[in-house]
A and B are shown apart, each in its own frame.
Chain A
Amino acid sequence: MEYVVEMNNITKVFGNFKALDDVTFKLRKGEVHALLGENGAGKSTLMSILFGLYQAEKGSIKINEKPVKINNPNDASSLKIGMVHQHFKLVHNFTVLESIILGRETVKMGVIKKDEARKKVIALSERYKLRIDPDAYISDITVGMQQRVEILKMLYSDSEILIFDEPTAVLTPQEIDELMKIMKELVSEGKSIIFISHKLNEIKKVADRCTVLRKGKCIGTVDVETTSKEQMSEMMVGRKISFNIEKKDIKTGEAVLEVKNLTIKTKDSKKNKVNNISFAVRGGEILCIAGIDGNGQSELVYGITGLMPINEGQVLLKGKDITKESIRKKSVDGMSHIPEDRHKHGLILDFDLKQNAVLQTYFKPRFQNKGFIKFNAVAEYARKLIKQYDIRSPRDEDSIVRNMSGGNQQKLIVARELDKDPDIVIAVQPTRGLDIGATEYIHKQLVAQRDQGKAVLLVSLELDEVMDISDRILVMYEGEIVGDLNPKEITVEELGLYMAGSKRSGGYEN
């Protein structure tokens, strides 16, 4: 069997942390090879070594059966290795064509010869069915298109080995299907693809083989065709994962959070971002607000929590009007908020874990005395959260949060918000960007809150999440609620119709 890439017995150490431990990875010519693992398993580190960003302490790399040393990304490019990064690296005020040829311009006497480049780009885009407009500006095209530009960029530099680093994280379901087709097309043209992902459905759909990493160790390489999703996820996480979440049968209680005729206007749009919305979340239920991104969900939550001023309407917590209360007061009164953007709102990245753990409670007598912080109490509390919520970090409560993995950062926020013993938890996309293990964990925690009779308001863009854990679904479309649905009675397809605005349920007609 011919291997285009052979990485043998790679070991990479950071400080005394073994990021990769004797990992062997082999890519056959013309296959899509998935690299599966949780956040922090070493996927990106392995690929960074192949791409020349890191050097391995031990191990060897062979490309096309020849031993090579890759010292920097330029070496990687000359070995025809290309990479599409998770976050694209495009210049926003360049055109598509300019972006593609950036760094590999054909130049004559210092003048760029765009015509030749254009011909080549158009030929490539036709050959691989990657439709693009070479003269559109990057800032004007969709994320899916930007990704195509990245792919074309690799092809333009004649890459034979293509690395896709979690390429589907930013795409819509339709765009994902497109990407899958493109990948198949590329492989049929003789390219070889490494596909980094932790989404089993996608791996199942597109990959031929799959190598699983766990905590820096290679667990094994399997044929995707003959391996079930359950088996792969067990290899990845090291234990059985239940895809079904068990919920107790409990009676819903009184309304904990009531929103009445809420309207929010923003400066940059004429239409109301949130238009006359009313609903109530009762104790013992998970109310989910579903909808396509940008239909006013974020603003609704900002309005309720106080991060954004509201124009009209009322917010009631346990029957008390808290519309005009400060954020601090709302938090003390029993509102927890797991924010949408954990780096912007949820954490102070340059603070250590323990200081982040008391972000909303540092002023309570438990943690301070006459204005002086009780550092011992804070550290002890942080250790309790670490233990109880299984938060992993390089230096426990003293870790700078910036140095923690995304999943553990999110766990820290969830731990902090739930440990406040709130009456209502407002969770906005709490599992965004997290792997299966962490997602399962956070779902369980939210359900546990519900089972204790607490109210949970979940805002989610992921249909699976919406269908799996909610008790009731409200669909938002253009700032309004267009449906009040029971997840047991509707299908995903129906939900999609509501989200697209082509269907409304009774009582929510225009």
Chain B
Amino acid sequence: MKTKIFQNEGFTSFLSSLAAIVAGLLVGLIILFVSNSKDAIPAFVMILKGGFEDGSRGLAQVIYFAIPIIMTGLSVGFAFKTGLFNIGASGQFKMGAFVAIYIGVKWSSVPAEIHWLVALLGAMVAGAVWGSGPGILKAFFNVNEVITSIMMNYIGMYLVNMSIVKTIYDSLKNQTKPVLKSAVLPKAGMDKLFNTSNISIGIFIVILAVIVIYIILQKTTFGYELKACGSNREASRYAGINEKRSIILSMLIAGALSGLGGGLLYLSGSGKYIHVLDELAPEGFSGISVALLGMSHPIGIFLSGLFIAHLEVGGFNIQLYNYVPEIIDMIISVIIYCGAFALLFKQIIKKLITKPVIDTDNKDNVEPVPLLISGADKVSVHDEANDVTRQEEDEK
């Protein structure tokens, strides 16, 4: 039984992510030492403690940071499963945020009980519209979605800035007007439980989104079609799957997820407003990190989003020791960087784990192990050694 767990692909993926995280933290420690060696250790401990520093308020803070980046992470990860790189989460996020605030400020005629829900739906629609643009261009004109979605980020940012000034502008503070009370997400007693006002039912909506995406990808024919297109577009065409539809829908859903993330953040009642600045929403890019670290798997994304939020809270706290919170960004980048070596880590881990299996005498009880499990390196237990030959030759 034990061997079964160790040979599980998910388990090795998890271990390789863990290795990346350890590497990132070590680099963080070095940076702390270089900038101020005196307080490095306590500051490092504080980063590790992150959200656990401040009791339930700290946890609430982690959740608050995590909500938008889990959503953009889901967005990027979902598109990635379909073979698309959604770098436009930032623009979709901002569009969603704007529409949510707009509805929250202006649509006072909506019944108060569902005002926030309508605002969130509006955010999803806005994000979906913004995401489907690159999808349509990709499907019908084969325009690279990376380029179009980067452009859509800027278009979205300027459009939002312009629209804010025209409609819901607080000119004194150069930001959006506060939303009506009815548009703020319900707290459902969470604020009392956690003793802070930052928390709301938003986290449950995020969990719901994670579950829905997981089910779509793993259990439905729709998810099967999307993954098939992502994995091999030609074979999907051969199988009669409408790959244009799949691409557009995939980008549309990805956009809706990012848009929802924007809505959830700005309707959380934490006193957050969109400032009219020429700045892309950073949550969109954090989403890429979250998706990479979570290996594009919905549950992995959920966990990695919480983890990165945890570090960010720690980074916020180390200002006590006069460190800048940007150190956290560096740690996260190193983690992502090492995450790119995940395949390498995976192979090393796999080797370490499978070695004993060869030596055991009762081989019959153990499941066969594919040599390598990564998609990029194809080796079969059969006679396809040519492939290895080719790879290693290339390395030479």
Interface residues of A (CB under 8 A from B): 13-17, 19, 39-45, 47-48, 51, 53-54, 57, 73-74, 83, 85-87, 89, 103, 165, 305, 307, 326-332, 337, 339, 344-351, 355, 359-360, 362-363, 368, 371-373, 394-395, 399-400, 402-406, 408
Q: Is the CB of A331 within 8 A of B240?
A: yes
- Find out whether the CB atom of B368 lies under 8 angstroms from the CB atom of A345: no
Contacts of A339 in B (CB 8 A): 238
The answer for the CA separation of A14 and B239 in the assembled complex, in Å, is 34
Q: Please list the 5 inter-chain residue pairs (A to B) with the smallest Cβ-Cβ separation, ordered nearest first.
A: A328-B240, A15-B369, A405-B382, A40-B382, A44-B385
* Interface locus among B22-30, B40-48, B388-396: B388-396
- Please give, as numbers and ranges, the residues of chain B lying within 8 Å of A351 by CB-CB distance: 227-228, 231
Residues of B close to A405: CB separation below 8 A: 380, 382-384
Is B368 within 8 A of A395, CB to CB?
Answer: yes
- Which B residues touch A404, using CB under 8 A? 380, 382
Chain A's closest residue to B215 (CB) is A372
**B375: CB under 8 A from chain A?**
yes
Per-residue A-contact encoding for B355-396, CB less than 8 Å = 1, 0 else: 001100001101111110001001111111110111011101
Contacts of A394 in B (CB 8 A): 368, 370, 380-382
* Cβ–Cβ contact A43 & B380, under 8 A: no
Q: Give the distance to chain B from A36, nearest Cβ to Cβ, in Å.
A: 13
Report the Cα distance A394→B367, complex, angstroms: 9
The complex places the Cα of A337 from the Cα of B368 at a distance, in Å, of 32
CA distance A495 to B384 in the complex (A): 35
Q: Which residues on A sit within 8 Å (CB–CB) of B240? A: 326-332, 360
Chain B residues, Cβ within 8 Å of A86: 386
Q: Do the beta carbons of B393 and A85 come within 8 Å of each other?
A: yes
Say whether A345 contacts B375, CB under 8 Å: no
B382 proximity list for chain A (CB < 8 A): 19, 39-40, 394, 403-405, 408
List of A residues within 8 angstroms of B11 by Cβ: none
Q: Is the CB of A402 within 8 A of B375?
A: yes
The answer to whether B219 touches A346, judged by C-beta atoms less than 8 angstroms apart, is no
Chain B residues with CB under 8 A of A47: 385
> Contact check: which of B241, B383, B389 meets A42 at CB < 8 Å?
B383
Known contacts: A351-B228, A362-B221. The answer to whether A16 contacts B239 by CB under 8 A is no
Please determine whether B221 and A360 come into contact, CB atoms closer than 8 angstroms: no
Q: How far is the CA of A415 from the CA of B252 in the complex (A)?
A: 36
Q: Inside 8 A of B381's CB, which chain A residues have their CB? A: 14-15, 17, 19, 394, 403
Considering the complex, give the chain A residue whose CB is closest to the CB of B229.
Answer: A348
Q: How far is the CB of A153 from chain B (nearest CB, A)?
A: 12
**Given A44-B384, A403-B379: 17 more A-B contacts, CB < 8 Å:** A15-B371, A16-B358, A17-B381, A40-B383, A53-B388, A85-B390, A85-B393, A86-B386, A87-B390, A327-B238, A328-B240, A349-B232, A394-B368, A395-B370, A402-B375, A403-B381, A405-B380
Q: Bound state CA distance, A85 and B234, in angstroms? A: 28
Q: A85-B390, A89-B390, A403-B370 are in contact. Are A347 and B235 (CB under 8 A)?
A: yes
- B222's contact among A15, A73, A371, A403, by CB below 8 Å, is which? A371
Contact B363 A16 (CB under 8 A): yes
Nearest A residue (CB) for B360: A16
Residue B35 at the chain A interface, CB threshold 8 Å: no
Q: Contacts A16-B357, A307-B237, A362-B224 known; A400 to B370 CB distance under 8 Å?
A: yes
**B347 on interface, CB distance cutoff 8 Å:** no
Q: What are 9 of the A-B contact pairs (CB < 8 Å)?
A: A307-B237, A348-B236, A349-B378, A350-B232, A359-B235, A373-B220, A395-B368, A403-B378, A408-B382
In the bound complex, CA of A351 to CA of B371 (Å): 17
Return A332 CB to nearest CB of chain B, in Å: 8
Do A346 and B366 touch (CB < 8 A)? no
Given contacts A42-B383, A394-B368, contact A13 B358 (CB under 8 A): yes
Set of chain A residues within 8 Å of B378, measured between Cβ atoms: 349, 402-403
* Shortest Cβ distance from residue B7 to the other chain A in the assembled complex, whole angstroms: 9
Given A53-B392, A371-B222, A403-B380, A15 and B385 contact (CB-CB distance below 8 Å): no
Given the contacts A350-B375, A373-B221, A17 and B383 also touching, CB distance less than 8 Å: no
Q: Is the CB of B238 within 8 A of A346?
A: yes
Q: B389–A51 contact, CB under 8 A?
A: yes
B196 at the interface (CB under 8 A from A): no
Q: Which of B344-362 contact A (CB under 8 A)?
A: 354, 357-358
- CB neighbours of A165 from chain B (8 A): 386
Asked if A307 and B238 make an inter-chain contact with CB atoms under 8 angstroms apart, the answer reads yes
Residues of B within 8 A of A54 (CB): 385, 388
Contact with A along B189-228 (1 / 0, CB 8 A): 0000000000000000000000000000001111010011
Chain A residues contacting B358 (CB-CB under 8 Å) are 13, 15-16, 57
The closest CB in chain B to the CB of A328 belongs to: B240
Q: How far is the CB of B223 from chain A (nearest CB, A)?
A: 8
CB < 8 Å: which of A19, A53, A326, A399 contacts B389? A53
Say which residue of B221, B363, B388, B396 sits within 8 Å of A368 (CB atoms). B221
Question: Do A337 and B238 have beta carbons less than 8 Å apart?
Answer: yes
Nearest B residue (CB) for A51: B389
- Which residues of A are found within 8 Å of B238, using beta-carbon distances? 305, 307, 327, 337, 339, 345-346
Centre residue among A16, A307, A331 by max chain B CB count within 10 A:
A16
B364 closest partner in A (C-beta): A16
A405 to B384, CA, bound (A): 7
Complex CA gap A15/B227 in Å reads 29
Looking at A326, A327, A360, which has the most chain B CB atoms within 10 Å of its CB?
A327
A191 to chain B, nearest CB (A): 21
Q: What is the CA–CA distance of A394 and B237 in the complex, to the nearest angstrom?
A: 28
Q: Please give me the residue from chain B that is nearest to A166 by CB atom.
A: B386
A350 touches B231 (CB 8 A): yes
- For A213, the closest partner residue in chain B by CB is B383
- The smallest beta-carbon distance between B78 and chain A, in angstroms, is 17
Q: How far is the CB of B295 from chain A (nearest CB, A)?
A: 14
Is A17 in contact with B221, judged by CB distance below 8 angstroms? no
Q: Are A41 and B383 in contact (CB under 8 A)?
A: yes
Instruction: Write the chain B residue with the least CB distance to A367.
Output: B221
A-chain residues with CB within 8 Å of residue B227 when the two chains form the complex: 351
Give per-residue flags for B276-304: 1 if the beta carbon is below 8 A from chain A beta carbons, else 0. Answer: 00000000000000000000000000000
Contact A359–B368 (Cβ < 8 Å): no
Shortest Cβ distance from residue A169 to the other chain B in the assembled complex, whole angstroms = 11
Q: Which residue of A lies closest to B393 (CB)?
A: A89
